Amino acid sequence: MRLIGLDPGLQRTGWGVIEAVGNRLGFVASGVVASAASDDLATRLDRLYVGLAGVIESYKPCEAAVEETVVNKNALSSLKLGHARGVVLLAAARHGLHVSEYASRSVKRAVTGTGAAEKEQVAVMVRMLLPESGPVTGDAADALAVALCHAHIRLTHSRIMAGVRA
């Protein structure tokens, strides 16, 4: 099963695609869709949608996992991030993907074992779990972590369901 993890941001939205076969996980691709702060909001959101649509069409994931938004103290920043998150959810939905959402603490816990992990710890664990990913940017590493979290949840759920059926 091919999964895409998405870490929404207006300036930089990270994406990471992994392949889950049984309990084996493999790196497919990762990157960032960026927009210029000098552009107006509508142009930035359009660039985000078009970029993500291209990624989804190129890598053809079966499901998407999106990190939930952390509310900032700055209300305007939170609002803009919410717009970006809406576009991320829309891009996945318009391409027929089932979308699962995960809190940042859940993603960190799934990848590092603690929900209070720092960004650098998450990136190190992503490289350890997906060594073929090589060095990835922070936003792409976060997106890969979201995909890994989703794969872990799916695998755990499958094992529970197999035990129930037995």
Give catalytic residues, as residue numbers: 7, 67, 139
3-state SS of the chain is CEEEEEECCCCEEEEEEEEEECCEEEEEEEEEEECCCCCCHHHHHHHHHHHHHHHHHHHCCCEEEEECCCCCCCHHHHHHHHHHHHHHHHHHHHCCCEEEEECHHHHHHHHHCCCCCCHHHHHHHHHHHCHHHCCCCHHHHHHHHHHHHHHHHHHHHHHHHHHHHC
